Amino acid sequence: MSTSRKPTCDFEEWIVREFADGGSFTALIVLVQIAETKVAPLCSTYLNVIGEEVEWSEMTVLFAGAGADWNGAAFFPLRGSDGSPLDNPTARLRLQELEGRVNESKLVLNEGHFFDNWGRQLKIEEVELQ
């Protein structure tokens, strides 16, 4: 974000903090569909974040290209052993591992930074179906 612009949502506040904490990183991203008592993974990707000037509106435009009717996105920031973004083969492998974990338990989404389609922070809670 430029110094003249304040974050407008939880996502933008998070990305500024994450970048300030460690610089550039790779974000593994899982898009989901959230219903009343169910969360369904739709698709996933990764991207390298090399600055804090990322706006939620830009992310939603990017996600529109996924062709999925999403209303939640979880971001998992990762850095290599040298503190830099991951290389492509490593990022693909880590994304595949994450997909498996999310398919086993949707609560894994809470290990990342989970946002609704307005960029507001979310948390998944277990519910007991009657």
What is the spatial order of strands in the sheet that 72-78 belongs to? 39-49, 25-34, 72-78, 113-116
- Asked if residue 27 belongs to a domain, the reply is yes
- Asked if residue 130 belongs to a domain, the reply is no
Dump pLDDT digits (tens) for 7-56: 889 999 999 999 999 999 999 999 999 998 899 999 999 999 999 889 99
The confidence score (pLDDT) of residue 2 equals: 44
Does residue 61 have a pLDDT over 70? yes
- Asked if residue 121 belongs to a domain, the reply is no
Identify the band that residue 130 occupies on the pLDDT scale cut at 50, 70 and 90: low
- Asked if residue 1 belongs to a domain, the reply is no
Dump pLDDT digits (tens) for 81-117: 999 999 999 999 999 999 999 999 999 999 999 999 9
- Asked if residue 122 belongs to a domain, the reply is no
Dump pLDDT digits (tens) for 2-11: 454 678 899 9
| Number of domains composing the chain | 1
- Asked if residue 128 belongs to a domain, the reply is no
- Asked if residue 127 belongs to a domain, the reply is no
Domain housing 108: 10-116
- Between the two ends of the chain, the Cα-to-Cα distance in Å is 46
Dump pLDDT digits (tens) for 63-91: 999 999 999 999 999 999 999 999 999 99
pTM over 0.85: yes
- Asked if residue 123 belongs to a domain, the reply is no
Do residues 114 and 73 lie in contact, with contact meaning Cβ atoms separated by under 8 Å? yes
